[in-house]
Amino acid sequence: MSSFLEEHAAQVRQAADRIRPHVRRTPCLTTDLDSGLRLKPECFQVTGSFKVRGAFNAILSLAAQQPRPAGVIAVSSGNHAQAVALAAASVGLPALVLIPEDANPAKVAATRALGAEVIQQGITFANREERMREEMAARGLTLVHPFDDWNVIHGQGTAALELLADAPDLEVIATPVGGGGLLSGTAISAKHHNPATRVVGVEPAAADDAYRSWKAGSIQTLAAAPTTLADGVRTTSIGARTFEVMFANCLVDEIVTVTEEEIAAAVRVAWNRLHLALEPTGALPLAAYLSGKLPKGRTGLILSGGNANLETVATLLRR
């Protein structure tokens, strides 16, 4: 086993100890879809998504530094925003979050309710990074990146650590992939547990930058923010650190893509058959499973969140 994997697996275990008082240990569920299938529903997590794992690990680490940061800043479509807001409030740090104007209103309202300052007016997917750098410089804030940060990656890896403690014989683990933080952390935990475990990332066909990067062996960037039901993975590229984990160190075995109709079908199955209130992003691994795109074997799906736009879900359920 490589020293890279050993080092990062140790950091995931440390993250699990650090964040334990602040997050939920979400269950490992069985399902009548398949007796060998296991579900890790992060829709039951604090703030409704896995993002609190990485945010708490990063912000607790920052808060322990001397001198403490003046505050933290993040850009997000919603789930990372809520996670940063809660984690920062828990340690008494101010938080500023830049959220695009077209984001899910419920996620924006929740971020404000958790105590963060939100800037949304004039923020677009295209300009949010530039506006974030301006605010960082003006206010002296510290960035908590949504995926390309080792503390965030290690925190996200705690979901798979829990899943494998509950279901140690899994042969396949699938997660959504946007920037790659959850998939990278999952790959570290899974491959350290058993190098033979196949780790698969799932993304919309309309947002296939991770798939292209896997095939090319280098980071590929989409020309514009993709349009997809899965608004949590509307990134245009993965990060340098997540590329290092997933592809440079070959810890991810495969990236598969799913269509918008396959995502919609998975949302309907989640709500109607599994009784899980998943958002479309959280249903991505289920979409890949239902459409037969995952490798065969005992399979675990990390269902990343449940902060759905209810109007969107209502439309999908009426189809």
Report the SS3 class of residue 282: coil
User: In the beta sheet, which residues pair with residue 303?
Assistant: 41
Give the amino acid at 160: A
Task: Determine the Cα–Cα distance for residues 2 and 25; give it in Å rounded to an integer.
Answer: 29
Strands (E), the chain: 29-31, 34-41, 72-75, 95-98, 117-119, 142-143, 172-176, 198-204, 254-258, 299-303
Catalytic member of 40, 51, 107, 191: 51
304 is catalytic: yes
Instruction: Reduce the DSSP state of residue 40 to 3 states and report it.
Output: strand
Q: Considering 90, 184, 213, 304, which one is annotated as catalytic?
A: 304
Sign of the CA dihedral running 183, 114, 91, 145: positive
Q: Please, what is the end-to-end C-alpha distance for the chain in angstroms?
A: 48
- Cβ atoms of 246 and 258 closer than 8 Å: no
Count other Cβ atoms within 10 Å, centred on residue 55.
36
C-alpha distances out from residue 180 to 43, 60, 175, Å: 19, 21, 10
Residue 220 in tokens: 């590929």
294 contact partners, CB below 8 Å, separation of at least 6? 172, 174, 200, 256, 285, 288
Structure tokens at 206: 């309309």
* Catalytic site includes residue 296: no
What amino acid positions are annotated as catalytic residues?
51, 304
